[in-house]
Structure 1
Amino acid sequence: MLTEEEIADTRATLTELHVEHHDLDQVIDHLLLNPPPDDLLIRRLKKRKLLLKDRITLLEGMLEPDVHA
């Protein structure tokens, strides 16, 4: 069980991760629409975006009550 402080910290982290994920999405879209795209850069940004999404999912799972408890 998370303490109130841990919950607040996790929510703040989630907010930051959501913002970064959204920003990366916009950068990737911009790079794809404005040639010449740097394929390696786009792949790295997409990988970072996926890592962020995984971390967001993990943290959101920590905040939700365990339905099996």
Structure 2
Amino acid sequence: MSLESHLAELKRKHGELERELDSAKLHPSVDELDIAQLKRRKLAIKDEMEKIMAGATRH
């Protein structure tokens, strides 16, 4: 998988998590731990995207 396609896949996953998080926040029955887990996953993907982009600008 090329870096560009990997980055595109990460962006897609980040967007999916954003929508899932927004949806979870609308339902009072959703556990705060589940929301925290979604936020951690979203942040981990964002960090990975930033590392890829930083590495791409160095070359």
Tell me the TM-score normalized by structure 2: 0.89
Q: Identity, % of aligned pairs? A: 31
Aligned match for 1:45, one of 20, 35, 38: 38
The Cα shift of 1:65 comes to 4.0
Q: How many aligned residue pairs are there?
A: 59
Match of 2:47 in 1: 54
The structure number with the bigger radius of gyration is 1
Unaligned runs of 5+ in 1: 1-7
* 1:20 and 2:13 aligned: yes
Unaligned runs of 5+ in 2: none
Tell me the TM-score normalized by structure 1: 0.77
Runs of 4+ aligned residues of structure 1 deviating over 4 Å after TM superposition are none
Match of 1:5 in 2: none
